[in-house]
């Protein structure tokens, strides 16, 4: 068994979108949006191609991770550039086998090597605490609405990188594509049934959970 993690290439685009669609189908919403996000994010100026990887098993792509620029704006209006990742996708046939962890760990190490300051992401806490991510409340970094959410987490890539920055996190506009084109884009893929599932309500609840932890 041979595992390779490498930068995404243009010839990979469609296969990565297909895998992303499979990975997220009916997970957070009926259907999926993440494959369209992958498709549109590549064209956005905040896209970071040098941190966007695919993972191959015996020469076959089974997953990918995308990175984009983000920023923290402090209370004086000063902007601090940081980065974020997502979507992260592993084909469902290879879930819970450690491939996602390999991909994330590889990308974090590369982000450090490329001298980025910090990563801020949104996601389920149980997925990311093991990498060292903690709620941004620890650093007094809120979302634009001024609230601290458990699912918004930070990982400094340098010692003390976030210790003296207090403000609001702004993810790239590229992470919020206009979904008017989603339906037409989705029709270029094989038809799949959209379903309303309990995991979607769980995600919605987690996304709005306020961080009441003391750091």
**pLDDT of amino acid 186:** 97
Evaluate whether 4 touches 56 at the Cβ level (below 8 Å). yes
Measured CA to CA in angstroms, residue 153 lies from 6, 28, 59, 87 at distances of 26, 19, 33, 15
Among 101, 202, 197, 105, residue whose Cα is nearest residue 151: 202
| pTM metric for this prediction | 0.97
**pLDDT of 171:** 98
In DSSP terms, which residues pair with 156 in a beta bridge? 118
Q: Distance (Å, rounded) from C-alpha 44 to C-alpha 36?
A: 13
As given in the structure block, the two tokens for residue 184 are: 């037409």
Return the structure tokens found at 170.
């702004």
Tokens found for residue 169: 């996190």
In the block, tokens 């339906």 appear at: 183
Angstrom distance (rounded) from CA 123 to CA 43: 24
- Consecutive 10-residue averages of pLDDT for the chain (215 residues): 97 98 97 98 98 98 98 97 98 97 98 98 95 98 98 97 96 97 97 96 94 95
* Amino acid 76: pLDDT: 95
pLDDT value for 140: 97
How far apart are the C-alpha atoms of 3 and 160, rounded to whole Å?
A: 34
The highest-level CATH class for domain 3-207 is alpha beta
Distance CA 126, CA 99 (A): 16
Structure confidence at residue 179 (pLDDT): 96
């Amino acid at each position: 068994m041979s595992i390779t993690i490498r930068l995404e290439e243009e010839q990979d685009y469609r296969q990565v979108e297909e895998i992303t669609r499979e990975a997220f189908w009916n997970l957070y919403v009926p259907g999926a949006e993440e494959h369209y996000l992958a498709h549109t994010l590549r064209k956005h100026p905040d896209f970071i191609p040098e941190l966007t990887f695919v993972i191959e098993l015996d020469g076959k792509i089974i997953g990918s991770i995308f990175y984009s620029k983000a920023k923290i704006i402090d209370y004086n209006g000063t902007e601090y550039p940081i980065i974020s990742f997502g979507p992260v996708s592993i084909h469902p046939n290879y879930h819970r086998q450690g491939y996602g962890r390999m991909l994330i760990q590889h990308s974090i190490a590369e982000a450090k090597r490329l001298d980025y300051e910090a990563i801020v992401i949104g996601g389920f806490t149980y997925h990311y605490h093991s990498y060292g991510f903690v709620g941004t409340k620890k650093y007094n970094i809120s979302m634009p609405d001024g609230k601290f959410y458990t699912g918004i987490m930070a990982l400094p890539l340098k010692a003390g990188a976030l210790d003296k920055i207090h403000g609001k996190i702004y993810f790239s506009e590229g992470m919020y594509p206009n979904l008017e084109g989603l339906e037409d884009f989705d029709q270029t893929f094989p038809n799949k049934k959209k379903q309303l599932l309990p995991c979607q309500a769980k995600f919605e609840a987690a996304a709005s959970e306020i961080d009441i932890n003391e750091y």
